[in-house]
Amino acid sequence: MKVTTIPAKDLSTDLVAAWTDIQSADPSLDSPFFRPEFTQAVAAVRDDVEVAVLEDADRYVGFFPFQRSRANVGRPVGGRLSDFQGVVTRTGIGLDPAQLLRQCRLTGWYFDHLIASQTAFSPFHWTRDCSPYIDVSSGYDAYVANRRAAGALAVTQSLKKKRKSENQLGPVRFEARTADMQVLRTLVDWKSQQYSRSNITSPFSFPWTVALLERLLQIPDNAEFTGLMSALYLGDRLAAVHVGMQSGGVVHWWFPAFDPELSKYSPGSQMILEMVRAAATRGIERIDLGKGPELYKRSFMTGSIPLAEGAVDSRAMTRTVRQAWHHAHHWARASRLRRPALIPWRWIMRVRDHLQFR
């Protein structure tokens, strides 16, 4: 198999078309993160994005997008912003991850949201998790009935909160798609405050992340891939905003934020239900909620996609140390001494996030 590495900004029309054909033919790759347009958008705001083009028998059989560090270590495109990761290949193509990295001149490739169905990477998994999703293909009423039957309290409570907000603040108004940049600025402010309260590095403190969202939102609504910003109003007041992406029938729930002064009305949960209601008009069949410990995701989800975290690394010592660090971190999170044990980890994570976001 021939592997040629090129800057992502140099992807030709033919390469984008071949990538799209391969991605569209495999249901496991239907996330917007696997679209060539996402890689191109990140490459437009960063200068370290590359793509390995895989060829066999004079045809394109796969694409491996990544970000290259100064030490020739690979990261998923978008880094910490990437919620689905992997190699885009034709079905049945044999892949040797270690050899692929050598051909890309990479000493390692680290992943934390790899789709577990890419079994060539199974020997390199450290831990596995899942990414919850909402199946909206049967419509809003069927979804609500399903969640109520499953005893999902968050859904029932959200409906009650909607009635309460309508009585106290006025009608709920939902804009499935808005291009108002002031709404985006409000989301960035709310989300940055949330990160600060949680002592988490804000991705929006790095200019390229905001530039990425702005670029995604400029893609026309009728495109096969597009950024998507939605807004929820309680009465005349902006209460919640969400910025994500849509590819075909899949929407990725990415950056939600709400007015903390209106938290008693659960505007974030109301936003999810309104997105489910509007799904049919936008041809949406699934809303990916992304991996994470948030309890609301478990309540709203109808299924999940297995993911894995790990690394392919030719440096044995580095691989061993990083894997040990990873398992120690997970132990600290699960320990009964969780609060004091995580204090040093928070500082380490902030340094790591700063290095990965910059």
Average pLDDT over residues 289-318: 91
| Max intra-chain CA distance, the chain | 66
The whole-number pLDDT of residue 17 equals: 98
Indicate if the pLDDT at residue 333 is higher than 70.
no
CA gyration radius, the chain: 21
Please check whether residue 277 is in contact with residue 266, taking contact to mean a CB–CB distance below 8 angstroms: no
Is the pLDDT assigned to residue 172 strictly greater than 50?
A: yes
Residue 320 in this model has a pLDDT that exceeds 90: no
Q: What's the DSSP call for residue 93?
A: -
- Residue 82 CA, distance from chain mean position: 5
In the chain, % of residues over pLDDT 90:
82
Average pLDDT over residues 151-174: 95
- Flag whether pLDDT at 328 surpasses 90: no
Q: How far apart are CA 252 and CA 30, in angstroms?
A: 11
Q: How confident is the model at residue 339 (pLDDT cuts 50, 70, 90)?
A: low
Burial (0-12, 13-18, 19+ Cβ within 10 Å), 141: exposed
- 314 pLDDT tier (thresholds 50, 70, 90): confident
Task: Tell me the percentage of the chain whose pLDDT exceeds 70.
Answer: 88
The yes-or-no verdict on residue 358 having pLDDT over 70 is no
Mean pLDDT of 146-174: 95
Q: pLDDT class for 350, splitting at 50, 70, 90?
A: low
- Among 63-67, 133-137, 292-296, the range scoring the smallest mean pLDDT is 292-296
pLDDT, averaged across the chain: 91
Q: Is the dihedral of CA 192, 194, 198, 203 positive or negative?
A: negative
Could you say which DSSP state residue 198 is in?
Answer: T
Which token pair is 68?
Answer: 């290259």
Higher pLDDT, 323 or 250: 250
* pLDDT tens readout for residues 16-28: 999 999 999 999 9
Give the burial string for 209-230 (b: 16+ CB within 10 Å, else e).
bbebbeebbebeeeeebbbbbb
Residue 142: predicted pLDDT:
96
SS3 176: coil
Q: What is the mean pLDDT of residues 291-318?
A: 90
Residue 222 is predicted with a pLDDT of 85
CA angle in degrees (0–180, nearest 5) for 217-218-220:
100
If one counts every other C-beta atom within 10 angstroms of the C-beta of residue 320, the result is 11
Q: φ, ψ for residue 42 (rounded to 5)?
A: -65, -40
Confidence of residue 335 (pLDDT cuts 50, 70, 90): low
Segment 52-56 mean pLDDT = 97
Which ranges constitute the DSSP H helices of the chain?
A: 13-24, 36-43, 97-103, 140-149, 153-168, 181-197, 207-217, 267-278, 295-300, 316-334, 338-357
On the question of pLDDT at 317 being above 70, the answer is no
Question: Strand 108-115 to strand 88-89: parallel, antiparallel, or no bridges (unpaired)?
Answer: unpaired
pLDDT in tens, 80-123: 999 999 999 999 899 999 999 999 999 999 999 999 999 999 99
Coarse DSSP helix, strand, coil percentages of the chain, rounded to the nearest 5 percent = 45, 25, 25
* pLDDT score of 345: 46
Beta pairing partners, 252? 245, 288
Chain centroid offset of residue 254 CA: 6
Higher pLDDT, 243 or 350: 243
The pLDDT assigned to 114 comes to: 98
pLDDT at 280: 84
Cα–Cα distance, 162 to 257 (Å, whole number): 17
